[in-house]
A and B are shown apart, each in its own frame.
Chain A
Amino acid sequence: MERDRKKGRGKGERTSILIFTLLLLLIAAATASGREAERVTDARGKAFSPGPYRRIVSLAPNLTEILFSIGAGDRVVGVTSFCTIPPDAGRIARVGGIVDPDIEKIIALSPDLVVASKNGTGKSAVETLDSLGLSCFVFDVDSAGKVLEAMETLSLLTGMPPEAGKVIESFRSRLLRLRKSTPREKVKGLLLLSVTPPIGAGGKTFIDEVLALAGVDNLLKEETAAYPRLSAEKVVSLRPDYIFITRGMGEREVARFRKTMEALSGNTRIVEVDADLFTRPGPRVLKAVEVLRKVIGRR
Chain B
Amino acid sequence: MGGKRTAHFFAGCLALTALSGIVALTLGSFPTTLSDVAHGVLAFLTGNPAGSTGARVVSDLRLPRFLLGLLTGGALAASGAVFQTVLTNPLADPYILGVSGGAAVGSVVAFVVGGGDWPLLQLLSFAGAALGALAVYWLAGVSGRRSPGRLILMGVIVGALMNAVILVLLALTPPGKVPEALFWLMGDLSRGGRNSLVILIPLVGAGFLLLLALSRGLDVMLLGDEEAAATGLSVESFKGIAVGVASLLTGTVVAFTGLIGFVGLIIPHVVRRFTGGLHSRVLPGSFLAGGAFLVLSDAFSRILQPVGLLPVGAVTALVGAPFFIVILRRRA
Contact = CB atoms under 8 A, between A and B. Distances in A.
A127 interface: yes
A126 to B, nearest CB: 11
A118 interface: yes
A229 B171 contact: yes
B115 interface: yes
A268 interface: no
B174 A119 contact: yes
B190 A128 contact: yes
A111 to B, nearest CB: 12
Given A100-B183, A104-B28, A107-B30, A225 B53 contact: no
7 contacts: A81-B306, A96-B305, A100-B305, A105-B305, A108-B29, A124-B190, A124-B191
A119 B177 contact: yes
A128 B61 contact: yes
B298 interface: no
A276 B195 CA distance: 40
Contacts of B306: 81, 94-96, 102, 105
Interface string A147-159: 0000000000000
A119 B176 contact: yes
Given A95-B306, A99-B179, A119-B174, A104 B118 contact: no
B175 A104 contact: no
B118 A127 contact: yes
A255 interface: no
Contact of A99 (B60, B174, B180): B180
Contact of A123 (B61, B180, B302): B180
Interface in A83-127: 94-100, 102-105, 107-108, 110, 117-120, 122-125, 127
B31 interface: yes
A124 B180 CA distance: 10
Interface of A: 81, 94-100, 102-105, 107-108, 110, 117-120, 122-125, 127-128, 131-132, 204-205, 224-229
A120 B176 contact: yes
A108 B56 CA distance: 12
B175 A131 contact: no
A107 B57 contact: yes
A98 B302 CA distance: 15
A226 B175 contact: yes
Interface in B164-188: 171-172, 174-177, 179-180, 183, 188
Given A123-B115, A124-B191, A132-B60, A97 B176 contact: no
A153 B84 CA distance: 57
A19 B188 CA distance: 61
Nearest to A125: B190
B106 interface: no
B226 interface: no
B320 interface: no
Interface of B: 28-31, 53, 56-57, 60-61, 115-118, 171-172, 174-177, 179-180, 183, 188, 190-191, 193, 302, 305-309, 311
A29 B118 CA distance: 37
A99 B61 CA distance: 17
Main secondary structure of the interface of A (DSSP, over half): loop
Contacts of B116: 123
A81 B29 contact: no
Contact of A226 (B117, B174, B183): B174
Contacts of B117: 123
Given A100-B305, A102-B306, A127-B118, A119 B175 contact: yes
B30 A122 contact: no
Contacts of B171: 224-225, 228-229
A131 B193 contact: yes
B31 A108 contact: yes
A110 B31 CA distance: 12
Contacts of A225: 171-172
Given A124-B190, A225-B172, A226-B175, A103 B61 contact: yes
B183 A102 contact: no
A100 B28 CA distance: 14
B17 to A, nearest CB: 23
A228 B57 CA distance: 41
A123 B175 CA distance: 14
A122 B309 CA distance: 13
A99 B183 contact: yes
A99 B177 CA distance: 9
Contacts of A132: 56, 60-61
Contacts of A103: 61, 190
A168 to B, nearest CB: 25
Task: From A81, A104, A120, name the one whose CB has the most chain B CB atoms within 10 angstroms.
Answer: A104
Nearest to B177: A119
Nearest to B28: A104
Nearest to A140: B176
A76 B188 CA distance: 28
